[in-house]
Amino acid sequence: MLAISRAYTAAVPVDRMLANLDLNLLVTLDALLRERNVTRTAEAAGVSQPAVSAALARLRRHFGDPLLARAGNRYELTPLAAQLLALTGPALAGVRRVFDVTPDFDPSDVEREFTLITSDYAATVLGPVLSRRLAAQAPGVRLRLQWTTPYTVDHAADTLRTADGLLLPHGFLTDIPYLDLYEDRWVCIVSADNDLVGPQLTLEQLAELPWVVLYNLRTAFAPAAQQMRMLGIEPRVEVVADGFLPMPFLVAGTRRVALLQERLALRLAKPAGVRVLPCPFDVVPLAEAFWWHPIYSNDPAHVWLRGVLASAGAELAGHQPGL
């Protein structure tokens, strides 16, 4: 359990409010906001119900808000509590990361969780290679994969404070440390039974056929789709997906077309029932990289993780797919 030492606060100037707070309250607050029930919170935190009730009373005094409001036979979050719920998880993750730092790191004798923010594409293509290497070198390490969202990318500097890194191709982030991992090619996919398309797609067909696209937002898009737009081809969007994995299945059995990474497309072509075709324009390759916050650059555990990622990327790069 976490608490701020009074001896430490007496020796080192800190925020006066923090000096009077027990960080265990943050743990209880997070559980209360998620469980919305004192009994369940006590079970989740492994403490007594009176202890949780006392913590809730302290939290209510601190925030000047009831936090939990009765609605019939259950409790609901107050507007302030709903705001806090979005902050407690990242705050706890940040605190845990502070106390995870050690002067040395022995991967064979450590229990630790690494959190990577990733697309479903990178999780499917690089994830298996990375997880095998982690299991072989550090059996006590757990890998947590969290999905990328447009928000996490748009606010990467803040996002990366509470995660070990972000798997993302070049073209979205600047001024953040990164490690190049491997390259992939963009390809087009059409339904296996689409008799309107032969062995090659044309630019005219890309303009005429309906599309499945990713996100379709101003700051969230597949780089190849953006390049296609720069050529003057505006896709006629019929379906918007929030991930790459569903896209082949949304193309199958229709006249639709989509852009997908070659490594993923070749894995899913047969089970989804689609054909993989070269792009009819000179598309820039996808350069996948690992991005992290500068505060972790000298952390021995993070340095080791980056080495494992580099070797996993090299292994993947050594197995080039082909149409």
pLDDT of residue 137: 95
Q: Do domains 107-183+287-317 and 186-284 have the same CATH topology?
A: yes
What is the domain class of 6-100 according to CATH? mainly alpha
Give dist(CA 46, CA 43) in Å, integer.
5
Write out pLDDT tens, residues 99-137: 666 666 788 888 889 999 999 999 999 999 999 999 999
Burial of 311 from C-beta contacts in 10 A (0-12 / 13-18 / 19+): middle
For residue range 55-75, list pLDDT tens digits in order: 888 889 888 998 888 887 888
Residue with tokens 């390809």: 187
Model pLDDT, residue 34: 85
The residues pairing with 179 across neighbouring beta strands, listed in sequence order, are 290
* pLDDT at residue 323 in the model: 63
Dist. CA 178–CA 171, nearest whole Å:
12
Is 316:290 a contact under the CB 8 Å cutoff?
no
Helix (H, G, I), strand (E, B) or coil at 113: strand
Per-residue confidence (pLDDT) for residue 273, from 0 to 100? 98
pLDDT at 112: 86
Smallest CA-to-CA distance from 304 within 133, 162, 144, 158 is with 133
pTM exceeds 0.75 for this model: no
Which residues of the chain have a pLDDT value below 50? 1-14
pLDDT for res 8: 38
Q: What's the confidence (pLDDT) of residue 305?
A: 96
Angle at 48 between CA 45 and CA 54, to 5 degrees: 95
Q: Which residues on adjacent β-strands are paired with residue 117?
A: 146, 166
Tell the CATH topology of 186-284. D-Maltodextrin-Binding Protein; domain 2 (3.40.190)
What are the sequence ranges of the domains in the chain? 6-100, 107-183+287-317, 186-284
Closest to 52 measured CA to CA, from 72, 73, 75, 20: 75
- Which CATH number is 107-183+287-317's, of 3.40.50.300, 3.40.190.10, 3.40.50.1370, 3.20.20.120? 3.40.190.10
Structure tokens given for 28:
């209880």
State the pLDDT at residue 3.
39
